[in-house]
Amino acid sequence: MGRLLHEHPPLAQLSCGYRNSSDRMVIVRCLGPQEFFLERVVFPFELLSFLAPEASEVQIWTHGLGGPELVESIPVAELVVEATHDGAAGTVPFRAPSDGLIQGVQAG
């Protein structure tokens, strides 16, 4: 049988985590190759775990007085969950509004 023209080989998925360290609800949008799209609402201090292709970008949106506001864009490689030497989940990197990348959320 022939392949459809719009079919692509499956993309390798990275295990990622995002911690909303703000006191406001945010919308996490993950945009990737081959029309990959993921959108989730993340409440304050909540941890979102997700799978995404390596070349994806994560956008963090909030709602301000003027409507939706893009807070930041993060390459998905910065949100990859680190595995420990025994294969178990390790720490999940997350961003604080002022400090940048912080280690400290235990996954699993």
**Which helix (H) or strand (E) is 105 found in, with range?**
strand 100-106
> Which residues lie closer than 8 Å to 107 by C-beta, 6 or more apart?
17, 47, 49, 81, 89, 90, 91, 92
Alpha-helical regions (H) of the chain: none
Answer yes or no: pTM beyond 0.85.
Answer: no
Model pLDDT, residue 9: 64
The pair of structure tokens assigned to 102 is 């912080």
- List domains and CATH numbers for the chain: 13-87 (2.60.40)
The pair of structure tokens assigned to 62 is 């909030």
Query: What tens-digit pLDDT sequence spans the chain (108 residues)?
Result: 555 555 666 778 999 999 999 999 999 999 999 899 999 999 999 999 999 999 999 999 999 889 999 999 999 999 999 765 555 444 444 454 444 443 344 343
